[in-house]
Amino acid sequence: MKSLAELQALREQMKGKVGIRHDGDSNIRVVVGMATCGIAAGARPVLAAFTEEVAKRGLTHVSVGQTGCIGICQYEPVVEVFEPGKEKVTYVKVTPEMVPTIVSQHIVNGTPVTEYTIGASGAQA
């Protein structure tokens, strides 16, 4: 490294490689549980699928990130969607194949996919 600019360029390059987007002006946040339980259940491919789907659709108002344990390990992989002024939606047992539907119906059209949520699985939050 020769300069701060090189370090910042490397940081931006690596953010893309780990599959996490951080948009400061985001309105919608998608958070994937990436604790040991989530990773063991398949959260990495889910995180990658959300990152790719959001990028493919050019959704600049959406950020995809990760968090530690959400506390409902038996339902991993867990994804939470936060929209301003609305109650968070918790998706459980998420697979990469479910991601396009969640993005299309919930993120783009504003209608949560209730059959993928914690309430539909019979669990209580």
pTM over the 0.85 mark: no
Question: Is 29's pLDDT higher than 80?
Answer: yes
What CATH architecture applies to the domain 20-116? 3-Layer(aba) Sandwich (3.40)
Range of weakest confidence among 30-34, 43-47, 62-66, 119-123: 119-123
Q: Is 82 exposed, middle or buried (0-12, 13-18, 19+ CB in 10 A)?
A: middle
User: How far from 12 is each of 18, 20, 90, CA to CA, in Å?
Assistant: 10, 10, 29
Beta strands across the sheet bearing 28-33: 62-67, 28-33, 79-82, 89-91
CA 52/CA 8 separation, integer angstroms? 22
